Structure 1
Amino acid sequence: MSADSPREIGERIAASRHARRLTQTQLASASSVSYAMIRAIERGARRPSDDVLEAIASALAVDATQLRSGYTGTERRVHQALPELSAVIAGYDIPQGPPTRTPDELAAAVSAAVTLRLGAQYGRIATEIPSILADAIRYAHTAPAAEQRTAARMLASAARTADAVAFKHGARDLSARLIDLMRWAADRSADPLAQAVTAYVRTEVFFSARAHAVGLSALEQALDTAPAPTGRAEAAARGALHMRAAVIASRAGDIAAADTHLTHARDMATKVTREGTYLGTAFGPDSVRAHEVAVAVSLGSEHVDRALGIAHEWKPPASMAAERRSGVYIELAVAQDWAGQHRNALESLRVARAAAPQHTREHPWARDVATALRRYHRSDAEDVTRLCEWFGIV
């Protein structure tokens, strides 16, 4: 049972409803929950059941973990979806008939799923992505010649979104298979930008295996073949590769390479001029700053002042993609924990949780910091205990 009171849950639902400019009547209609129930929940007179909470969260386009702390339905949905995803991609290279969606419907579904990925809405992705991915595979095999490249790019994007669910929830083998599918689709597209994005995502495999030096070599090879930065999309693709190369170089302990790639990433950020989402990847000046924090933390505790200095002069804007914003605050919490700034670390974890609860709950560094904070405080310290309960580590 969540430690949240019915009033706290109701206040979060009301705040989310107001943010979306919905009336209680409209929320009731969109969620198929009675108006009387919505009123009772928002004023704290009723605690919503799991089914009601899910329905309200879906209508508000948020994950249920943002409305009730400790909610585990997301994890259940994700783990229930993993076998289905595995089955969907088992024969991705074998034609299986036409898709159930039209090309326009499929494009809209893939685009919506990308938005969910950037918002770290893994539970909603898990519910929707198996059928989207199945249709994307079918479309890649059946599309007319004039649509083949578009179909392949669409499949690569769908596979990337599915991988976000698998990777974040520890299904490493499935993640690697989804990345293989993404590479297959990118090669079919013959699109250098799609191939650059695939190289960016493939780095997850090297992070998981702690094969940092090999991963750095793979990214540098991808940079050698990436398109020249003649436009925003091309500059963003190169910039994203440089950002990720900087982080994996720092994990390899290669400070010089990390700083060189950060310099190149900053240069690409000036070419795109503004933060944005390019080919499904957030890139721009703020994303580069976020990766500067990641590099400093990845280099280890002796570089804590570097991480804290960046955070002192720059804060992730609210417009930054939720998953990336959450990641910055998780990394900052690590640095603050190293520096003995335990209260600040606790606040950073709270901000990370507010930005992207699913991402924060599943992030091993966030869990490690929460565990450490519990050691520093008495076991009955309410704030720390409630956070650890939310993580499921007490």
Structure 2
Amino acid sequence: MRGLQEEHAGVRIAHQRKLAGLTQRGLAAKIPYSYSLLRQVEEGRKNASPDLVSAVARVLRIDVTMLTGQPYVTELQQDRLAALIRPIRESLDLYDLHDPDELHGPQEGTHGPHEGTHGLHAGMRVPHAGTHATTTAAELAAQADELCRMVRATQLSKAAHALPSLIAEVTAAVHRNPSTALWQTLGSAYRTAHDIATKLGFYDLATIALDRLGWAAERGSDPQLAAVRQYMRALTYFREGEHTIGLRLIDAGHRALSRTDSADREARKTLVVRGQLHLGASVIAARAHDADAVESHLRYAASYAERTGEAERVYWLSFGPANVAVHEVSAQVEMRRYGKALEKSRSVRLPNGWPMSRRAHFYVDRARAEMETGRCDAALESVVTARKLAPEQTRYHPGARETINGLVAQRRRTPDSLDNMAAWLCR
């Protein structure tokens, strides 16, 4: 198998550029980056930043994943995670089966072991319409909430194993006895499907999950959950470098919240979602290098955080003063103000009990700022910290992989710890 350095984004950029019939100078003329930098990226002497990758993908009219290499199928197979994706995909396909009988697989003895409606996964536990439902709506909601917690704790494999059965069970329950609470629970389960798919690099599946989330939020009359969906959609376009569309989706999220009644508009959960929408807008504006908009959105987010305090469990958005500070670091990184990002990162204080997924993401951002300012040892230490906090998430995080590539490229003689990290990412 090829090493991580041979798989870096620069190699893929060069390949796709040639397929498009462009020279290095021709491509450089179409993106906001110099020919010199593009050449160094393709040669592996500089790492490919997310904004450079999205700019190239936009010019070549290809998906960003064609340049990042996601999903990292070999590693997913090695970690036994690839097999978990199909059951999630199948469970998302159950959404419109109104007859609970249709959600139930074949009765024993009527079909072969792999036959059944819609190719239901053999391990998917679905209640039959004629049996007494032993799981209450409150219990299903608690199970959905626990899966959200698992994802934030970066227990991706454990959450992915449990998710398809829960989606099938809640789908059967909500079609049998529709209620706002059950629709909201189903929306929460769809949100977990999106989060798992995103973290593992299956962005097509993440998009399907977001569509299902919107469908459930509408039926559950949950404007806050609908706004959370718009926030997540906006981040999809952020990844692709489509800043204008991303910001329009953020505005759509605010409009959804405006449709709540006067009491709900001041409810803590509404303030949390509004604040998180501003945080999403701040990083989108940062990638567009609109410093004034970044400052404005962070200021609004901070004002909401003062009112909510740390509210990491509200829709599991980890919103609060700490997340505002972390997003300021991310925004400075996106604007390539690496010195400012590093300075800000030193003052960030993460609360006890803050989700491991958010902690690890912060250290990946800090590692990039450290690498770009020549602090190679510190950058390696930050990626190692991210790995300790969230091994599965860090292994499949394109930013972590490109940072390690950049560190390897910067050093003629790499320390054993750096060699080991590079080997772990692509073993």
1:366–1:211: structure 2 CA closer, same or farther, 3 Å change rule?
same
Q: Secondary structure at the match of 1:77?
A: coil
The code of the aligned residue for 1:85 comes to: I
C-alpha displacement of 1:319: 2.2
Match of 1:12 in 2: none
The code of the aligned residue for 1:123 comes to: S
Matches of 1:74 and 1:204, distance apart in 2: 27
Match 2:324 to one of 288, 291, 295? 288
Higher helix proportion: 1
The answer as to 2:163 corresponding to 1:161 is no
Match of 1:215 in 2: 246
Match of 2:409 in 1: 375
C-alpha displacement of 1:284: 0.6
**Is the CA contact (8 Å cut-off) linking 2:285 and 2:293 kept in structure 1?**
yes
The answer as to 2:142 corresponding to 1:108 is yes
Matches of 1:185 and 1:226, distance apart in 2: 16
The answer as to 2:327 corresponding to 1:256 is no
Task: Structure 2 unaligned segments of length 5 or more: list them.
Answer: 1-73, 102-125, 128-134, 259-263
**Is the CA contact (8 Å cut-off) linking 2:153 and 2:357 kept in structure 1?**
yes
The answer as to 2:379 corresponding to 1:345 is yes
1:380–1:271: structure 2 CA closer, same or farther, 3 Å change rule?
closer
Which structure exhibits the higher relative contact order, with contacts defined as CA atoms closer than 8 Å and separated by 6 or more residues? 2
C-alpha displacement of 1:210: 2.4
Match of 1:271 in 2: 307
1:72–1:173: structure 2 CA closer, same or farther, 3 Å change rule?
closer
C-alpha displacement of 1:234: 1.4
1:96–1:81: structure 2 CA closer, same or farther, 3 Å change rule?
farther
Match 1:202 to one of 220, 227, 233? 233
**Is the CA contact (8 Å cut-off) linking 2:311 and 2:318 kept in structure 1?**
yes
Matches of 1:221 and 1:380, distance apart in 2: 48
Matches of 2:356 and 2:419, distance apart in 1: 25
1:205–1:221: structure 2 CA closer, same or farther, 3 Å change rule?
same
The answer as to 2:84 corresponding to 1:81 is yes
**1:302-317 residue pairs with structure 2 within 5 A?**
303-317=337-351
Q: Percent identity?
A: 29
Match of 2:397 in 1: 363
Match of 1:190 in 2: 221
C-alpha displacement of 1:337: 0.7
Match of 2:273 in 1: 237
Matches of 2:205 and 2:310, distance apart in 1: 35
Over the aligned positions, Cα root-mean-square deviation in angstroms equals 2.1
1:74–1:311: structure 2 CA closer, same or farther, 3 Å change rule?
farther
C-alpha displacement of 1:255: 1.9
| Alignment TM-score, normalising by the size of structure 1 | 0.76
Match of 1:93 in 2: 96
Matches of 2:391 and 2:303, distance apart in 1: 32
Matches of 1:84 and 1:364, distance apart in 2: 24
Q: Secondary structure at the match of 2:173?
A: helix
1:210–1:75: structure 2 CA closer, same or farther, 3 Å change rule?
farther
Matches of 2:320 and 2:78, distance apart in 1: 32
Match of 1:19 in 2: none
Matches of 1:332 and 1:74, distance apart in 2: 29
**Is the CA contact (8 Å cut-off) linking 1:213 and 1:249 kept in structure 2?**
no
The code of the aligned residue for 2:93 comes to: A
Matches of 1:128 and 1:366, distance apart in 2: 27
C-alpha displacement of 1:72: 6.0
Matches of 1:137 and 1:249, distance apart in 2: 38
**Is the CA contact (8 Å cut-off) linking 1:157 and 1:280 kept in structure 2?**
no
Provide the aligned length of Structure 1 versus Structure 2.
318
C-alpha displacement of 1:74: 8.1
C-alpha displacement of 1:291: 0.7
C-alpha displacement of 1:96: 4.3
Matches of 2:77 and 2:311, distance apart in 1: 30
| Alignment TM-score, normalising by the size of structure 2 | 0.70
C-alpha displacement of 1:87: 1.5
C-alpha displacement of 1:262: 0.7
**Is the CA contact (8 Å cut-off) linking 1:223 and 1:238 kept in structure 2?**
yes
The answer as to 2:419 corresponding to 1:385 is yes
Task: Structure 1 unaligned segments of length 5 or more: list them.
Answer: 1-70
Match 2:208 to one of 169, 177, 180? 177
Matches of 1:330 and 1:96, distance apart in 2: 46
